[in-house]
Amino acid sequence: MITVMKYSFKEMLNKRALLLVIVLTLVFLTLYGYGLKEAYKDLPRSPVIAVTLSSQLISIGLYFAGLIIAFLVVLSSVGALSADIESGVMQAVLVKPVKRWEIVVGKFLGIGAMISLYGIVLFFAIIFLNKFFGARMIFSPSNLFYSALLFILSPIILLSVSLWGSSRMSTLNTGIMVVMLYGFALIGGWMEQIGYLLSRNGGSAQGLINAGIISSLILPIDVLYRKMNSLLFTTDGLSFTVNNILGGGYEPSIAMMIYSAVYPIFMLWMAVRRFSFRDI
């Protein structure tokens, strides 16, 4: 398994997709940094407004950073198993003394390690740019630590779904499924957030909130972003959580967070089980 993990990690380094994502990331950080420079130049003198604006800028940056990482996950993992099966490489691997579950888990750990490393760097790059250009937010080390963990858990969940799809479908079908599920989860999260904002103003929007909960049960990615926002922007008992469709005003329950933590383990088990019985 360790060998498969190392091979998958090195394979990620050699992929052009990683280079493409790195270039896109640099373009994004440059544009985002320029926007921060202009925004913080005329920051309001009111501490409350300044902190609220800072939280909004950070929240937007992390949201689009999450999209870039999801793009990397899709490019790197949809063919992790299926591409090797379609090309015949998997047959050569399976004749060696390696168990099928070790191949699946090894690929999950190898790709997951690269994605986690990339996610951590991008997370702290967003925070650093905001602090460098004048963000008024004060982060505690524990808040930063747990927020970073939640930030990289989302792509890990997407990776587990992608591996499960790759264990039973073709590369093209897996890619379509993962992209559609990701988009479904984002739209569901927006609907839930809009429902929450409407309900706070006296409206009845339980249907929108329920739609968001269902989408989170299918793919619990957006809820992690909301929880990360809540952790990141709560300081000394004061919450500066952003209340818009990209913010984290509607915080997920503890049960949903436990479900999100168990979800990738279950999907990985499903991938192992399916690949173990697949006729290759």
Among 211, 212, 227, residue whose Cα is nearest residue 260: 227
3-state secondary structure the chain: CHHHHHHHHHHHHHCHHHHHHHHHHHHHHHHHHHHHHHHHHCCCCCHHHHHHHHHHHHHHHHHHHHHHHHHHHHHHHCCCCHHHHHHCHHHHHHCCCCCHHHHHHHHHHHHHHHHHHHHHHHHHHHHHHHHHHCCCCCCCHHHHHHHHHHHHHHHHHHHHHHHHHHHHCCHHHHHHHHHHHHHHHHHHHHHHHHHHHHHHCCCCCHHHHHHHHHHHHHCCCHHHHHHHHHHHCEECCEECCCCCCCCCCCCCCHHHHHHHHHHHHHHHHHHHHHHHCCCC
Look up the domain containing 110 and give its range. Answer: 1-277
198's tokens = 């409407």
Q: Residues 6-35: pLDDT tens digits?
A: 777 777 767 777 788 888 889 999 999 999
Domain count, the chain: 1
Task: Express as a percent the part of the chain with pLDDT over 70.
Answer: 92
Among 36, 233, 23, residue whose Cα is nearest residue 131: 36
241 or 23: which leads in pLDDT: 23
Q: Residues 97-139: pLDDT tens digits?
A: 888 888 999 999 999 998 999 999 999 999 999 999 887 778 8
Task: Give first-to-last CA distance, the chain, whole Å.
Answer: 20
- Residues 223, 196, 233: CA angle, nearest 5 degrees: 55
Q: Residues 166-215: pLDDT tens digits?
A: 998 898 999 999 999 999 998 988 888 888 878 777 767 788 888 888 98
Cβ neighbours of residue 183 under 8 Å, at least 6 residues apart? Answer: none
| Mean pLDDT, range 44-65, rounded to an integer | 84
262's tokens = 């168990």
